[in-house]
Amino acid sequence: MTEAVTAAPSRTAAAVRLRGVSKAFGSGKTRLLALDQVSLDVAPGEFVCLLGASGCGKSTLLNLVAGLDKVSAGTIDTEDARVALMFQEPALFPWLTVTANIELALKMRGVPRAGRRPRAAELLDSVHLGGFARKRPHQLSGGMRQRVALARALALTEDDTDGGQGTVLLMDEPFGALDAMTRDLLHDEIERIWRQRALSVLFVTHNVREAVRLGDRVVLLSSRPGRVVEEFPVPMDRPRRIDSTEVASLAAAITDRLREEVGRHGA
Amino acid sequence: MAHDTTSRNDAPPPDTAPGTAADTAAGEAPAADRLNRELAGLDALELGGGTGRRLAQRTWSAAWPMLAAVVIALLAWQAVVWSGWKEPWVLPGPRDTFPVLWDQVTSSRFWKAVALTMRRAIIGFALSIAVGVVIGGLVSQFRVLRRAFGSLITGLQTMPSIAWFPLAILLFKLSESAILFVVVLGAAPSIANGLIAGVDYTPPILLRAGKVMGLRGLLLYRHLVLPASLPSFIAGLKQGWAFAWRSLMAGELLVIIGSTTSLGVLLSQAREFNNTADMISYMIVILVIGIVIDQLFGVLDRAVRRRWGLED
């Protein structure tokens, strides 16, 4: 276990622990190595941003952690945490109302029928959509739909024992399709919910400033195959502003490193 | 819609403020309030106002082209009659036909015939749905079945149903079963295909979301695949109805059972008596029934599309 060196020694517990994770698609000549020996920890309550150019296997990595796909090598340990995944698209079921979408997630978590409606109402309130329970997804704007998707993801981390620990939220460029104004507001929103619920977040993005705005730590991945290139701690107080000079200067440094990495592929 | 969203948007801040104040540090409460307000404001702006037209207006804009089409068709018919191409007793005009149609629709014999025909249509269509759903369900589920029967089902759709009647009559004699057999063969493939297409085109992103939720097996079908395939299934039903109705009319003209009276029987009797006005009346009735039921499926289809936001 030489990879253990990369983990911070003080953290014995990790909400998500990846050790030497590799993932290949296809076989023979068409074999494509998407992830190569990725080792990464997300501490309980930590907000980690995964950053990389196209083809770095960010989404593949989240799929693996979410259990939608199997690793080719290595191990992923989520310590019985409840894992939820959110995509760039809201992916709400159009035939269900907003509340029914969330109630279905609660049902799948084993919440008894009587408890689902009030629980869904609480979750919608927490994303400031309490008044929209009876609407259908298409009646909402893109940002609102994404908040419903967030509420649904939170529903999947619900637990009757009410333990805030051990809930992992995986986010795959969740704000990538939104306009800047909405995105800024949702940054505040996700930060608030993350603190309130003590979530462990693994947040994938290709937007460097967004990563610095949100993360406790930014992990830079290389492309084809995806490897951990470097980790950047973000020692800034919250709340941060995406347009502050501190965020901008760290983002610039990370961008330089990212470009260097991308440049290797052009040679 | 615009009204109730704006009034609701005024509500959230006081509702949610206690919750957020309790779990954030005291100094952050104003910031949380501001976030609430900003989000509510953005929501209100993005939803904007709907441009819902009134029902009367919508009905009229849908109805007048149809009415115009009917008028044009009647004029064309009348023009042919006026041209003197055929003697008026061979091809009567609308003015001679509509009184006959009125006499028909006020007679009990006519309604008995319609009742029998509709009973056959409903039984045949219901059976087609049952067969189509079972076949469609199986074929969409198993790849081997898809390879084996997928193109066969599509092929069956192109087969003129009247070509089945010689076999049907041999198998079932001149009986209700012979008619039913051909109706089901005509309609079931369309219904099966509609279901298969619906299952095939379940958006992959929804399937991913379903898997994240832990939907698997029967639950996946019940909560995701079946609802997702609904629009395509309704389109299949609509097409299936058209095939069922055609097959049924062919069947009623070819398979005449004893002393029963159906629309097909009335139509062939009118031809035997060279009674063109009666014949055209029945044809109009057959056309109207077909259109009305097709429109019902259209209404169903639009209702689903509106609910899902696929329209506009």
**Which residues of chain A lie closer than 8 angstroms to B12, CB-CB?**
125, 128, 130-131
B25 contact A CB<8A: no
Task: Record the tokens describing residue A209, joined without a space.
Answer: 């400033």
Cβ neighbours around B69 below 10 Å, total: 10
B21 and B169 together in one domain: no
What CA–CA distances, in Å, run from A42 to A7, A126, A195, B81? 10, 24, 15, 85
Which of A66, A136, A239 lies nearest to residue B307, judging by beta carbons? A136
pLDDT band at A183 (very low <50, low <70, confident <90, very high): confident
Ordered structural domains, chain A, with CATH = 2-81+166-263 (3.40.50.300), 93-165 (no CATH)
Give chain A's contact residues with B (Cβ, < 8 Å): 66, 68, 84-85, 87, 89, 91-96, 104-105, 108-109, 125-126, 128-132, 136-144, 156, 181-182, 185, 188-189, 192, 195-196, 239
Q: Which long-range contacts (CB under 8 A, 24 or more apart) does B156-159 make?
A: B156/B185, B156/B189, B157/B189, B157/B190, B157/B193, B157/B243
pLDDT band at B76 (very low <50, low <70, confident <90, very high): very high
Residue-wise pLDDT for B95-138, tens only, equals 989 999 999 889 999 999 999 999 999 999 999 999 999 999 89
pLDDT band at A184 (very low <50, low <70, confident <90, very high): confident
CA distance A97 to chain B (A): 9
B140 and B66 together in one domain: no
| pLDDT higher than 50, residue B18 | no
Residue-wise pLDDT for A113-168, tens only, equals 998 999 999 889 888 888 899 999 988 988 899 999 999 998 988 765 554 456 89
B259 and B181 together in one domain: yes
B96 and B236 together in one domain: yes
Task: Record the tokens describing residue A155, joined without a space.
Answer: 């529903």
Q: What is the mean pLDDT of chain A?
A: 85
**Alpha carbons B121 and B161: distance in angstroms, whole number:** 15
Instruction: Report the CATH number at residue B115.
Output: 1.10.3720.10
Q: Which of A36-45, A100-109, A234-243, B48-57 has the lowest mean pLDDT?
A: B48-57
Side-chain-side CA neighbours of residue B285 (13 Å): 28
Q: Which of A245-249, B6-10, B95-99, B212-216 has the lowest mean pLDDT?
A: B6-10
B304 and B181 together in one domain: yes
B232 and B100 together in one domain: yes
B35 and B70 together in one domain: no
B63 and B163 together in one domain: no
Q: By residue range, what is the domain housing residue B30?
A: 2-47
Question: Which chain A residue shows the shortest CA-CA distance from B21?
Answer: A196
Residue with more model confidence, A11 or A25: A25
| pLDDT higher than 80, residue B225 | yes
Instruction: Return the pLDDT at B141.
Output: 84
B289 and B219 together in one domain: yes
Q: B221 with B207: CB under 8 angstroms?
A: no
Question: Which chain B residue shows the shortest CA-CA distance from A196?
Answer: B23
**pLDDT cut 70: percent of chain A above it:** 92
B124 and B192 together in one domain: yes
B173 and B209 together in one domain: yes
Instruction: Return the pLDDT at B252.
Output: 92
Task: Record the tokens describing residue B169, joined without a space.
Answer: 């009559």
B42 contact A CB<8A: yes
| pLDDT higher than 50, residue B227 | yes
What length is written for chain B? 312
B206 and B239 together in one domain: yes
Q: Do B205 and A239 touch (CB under 8 A)?
A: no
Structural domain tally of chain B? Answer: 3
